[in-house]
Structure 1
Amino acid sequence: MLYLEDNYKKEFQTSIIKTIENKIFLKETFFYARSGGQPGDQGTITIENKKLNVIDTVKEEGLFAHIVDQEVNISEGTLISAKILWEKRHRHMRMHTTMHLLCSVLPFYVTGGQIGYEKSRIDFDLGENKYDVQILESQINKLIEEDHMVSYQWITKQELDANPSLVRTLSVQPPNVSGKIRLVKIGEIDLQPCGGTHVKTTKEIKKFKFIKFESKGKQNKRIHFKVED
């Protein structure tokens, strides 16, 4: 999961571990595999001047499966070049960091969410609480303009268990990497476990646009939003 070290790596070279039908397993990868409401990366894998389109990336038996648009049968150790579809990845990064900004403004548990290219949604356990959407939109855009730095910290599961208030999501377990859990820190306004991809500073999000509120039961309220250039 090299994307945890560098969200901005767009191209890299590595070798193949194995191929199964239309799935390519690489020795190392910067692709993000679908999880936690964030789509898997798309892009290309080039093998001996033959370019294959990666249409999705998923987790399979502890490995990342790069799903391509045709069946392949390639020997282990074959060298490849890979390129992430950056426009889509970067949009997902902007969306994901925006979700964390919403968490900083709305102090409630997150009960679900889905990141998309055109729009995204996040569900909060708001109960009977009500929010003025214009004020909410203004608050988020103010945080974006303040240009808060996004950074990362690593803690143990024991440290996380000792600080349960760090966990904001009820539907997704924080990803555990070799006994460590990554925290995403946005300036001094938000800190929570997350294994997704994020921008370097909030200003990179550019602009938050509220689309609509939707009731998903007595407690859950869904916020639909998008980011604009």
Structure 2
Amino acid sequence: MTELLFRADAYARECTATVLSSGPDGVVLNRTVFYPQAGGQPGDTGLLRWSLHGQSGEMAVGNAVKGPGDAVLHQPGDGAALPPVGAEVIAGLDWSRRHRLMRMHTSLHLLCSLIPGAGVTGGQIGADRSRLDFDLAEPPAKDWLSEQLTALAAADHPVGERWISEAELDANPSLVRTLSVQPPRGAGQVRLVRIGAEDDPVDLQPCGGTHVRRTGEIGRVSVTKLENKGRQNRRVYLVLED
């Protein structure tokens, strides 16, 4: 089991940890700041550094993915040395990439708020470009979406979270916007990410990913392309302008 430190603080850039297992499939730590690939958000990249018996080493992390149970596999880059089991390591993120993914992820939630009532049939978060697919006959105009997204970001809305029971989610099915991926169940609770005020949110939906603290961190957003992916499926691409 890996303690997921990003759940408590998405801004934690590094941590000390102990190596529980180590192999070509990945390194498992007892705790980590690395987000494992899930829900359309890529896994984090970065570096593991250690010193043992006077010998220092480092391993480039090419990706982080979910392993057995609650473990996170820190996958080594090509030819990277592996830390020995029991070693204490410093696990550090490629922070500029992670923060950009956080800005992108929050932008996609804002995009959802601009197309109410339409289910999300797919999506992908990228550092350079992201997209969402909507069950929708006709999307709003590209320029209008860009203007509204940038305005919502500039309004500097707070971004927070709270947890509800699975029974509460069942009683409020409209909270779930994604049609292709359902919130993970089995733990008894589901995490909601809220943008805006608690009593009048801009967006509120289940999500396990990492987000910025305030929308002001996002900057300008542009919708670059609208694609027809079927009779009732419209794909919306967006980019950050810095």
1:22 touches 1:71 (CA, 8 Å); kept in 2? Answer: no
- SS, match of residue 231 in structure 2: coil
Aligned to 1:68: 76
Say if 2:213 is the partner of 1:200: yes
1:22 touches 1:72 (CA, 8 Å); kept in 2? Answer: no
Amino acid across the alignment from 2:28: F
Counterpart mapping for 1:185-196 below 5 A: 185-187=194-196, 188-196=201-209
- SS, match of residue 77 in structure 1: coil
Amino acid across the alignment from 2:180: S
Aligned to 2:95: 86
Amino acid across the alignment from 1:228: E
Aligned to 1:165: 174
Shift of 1:40: 0.3
1:23 touches 1:71 (CA, 8 Å); kept in 2? Answer: no
- SS, match of residue 16 in structure 1: strand
Q: 1:86-136 CA deviation, whole Å, 9 max, x = no partner?
A: 011011000000000001110111110011111111101112x34121111
Say if 2:6 is the partner of 1:3: yes
2:59 touches 2:82 (CA, 8 Å); kept in 1? Answer: no
TM-score (norm 1): 0.95
Counterpart mapping for 1:21-40 below 5 A: 21-40=24-43
Supply the RMSD in Å over aligned alpha carbons.
1.4
Say if 2:119 is the partner of 1:112: no
Shift of 1:6: 0.6
- Distance across 2 between alignment mates of 1:179 and 1:80: 33
1:208 touches 1:227 (CA, 8 Å); kept in 2? Answer: yes
Shift of 1:75: 4.0
Q: 1:16-71 CA deviation, whole Å, 9 max, x = no partner?
A: 11012251000011100001111000000012121110000001212110001236
Identity of aligned residues (%): 45
- Distance across 2 between alignment mates of 1:121 and 1:156: 29
1:119 touches 1:224 (CA, 8 Å); kept in 2? Answer: yes
- SS, match of residue 240 in structure 2: strand
- SS, match of residue 34 in structure 1: coil
Shift of 1:77: 2.3
- Distance across 2 between alignment mates of 1:200 and 1:177: 28
- SS, match of residue 32 in structure 2: coil
* 1:99 aligned residue (108, 112, 130): 108
Aligned to 1:58: 65
Shift of 1:178: 3.0
- SS, match of residue 183 in structure 2: coil
1:144 touches 1:202 (CA, 8 Å); kept in 2? Answer: yes
- Distance across 2 between alignment mates of 1:176 and 1:207: 35
Say if 2:154 is the partner of 1:145: yes
2:6 touches 2:35 (CA, 8 Å); kept in 1? Answer: yes
- SS, match of residue 117 in structure 1: coil
2:58 touches 2:81 (CA, 8 Å); kept in 1? Answer: no
Aligned to 1:123: 133
Q: What is the aligned length?
A: 228
TM-score (norm 2): 0.90
Q: 1:153-194 CA deviation, whole Å, 9 max, x = no partner?
A: 001111111110100001112134732111000002110000
- Distance across 2 between alignment mates of 1:104 and 1:16: 41
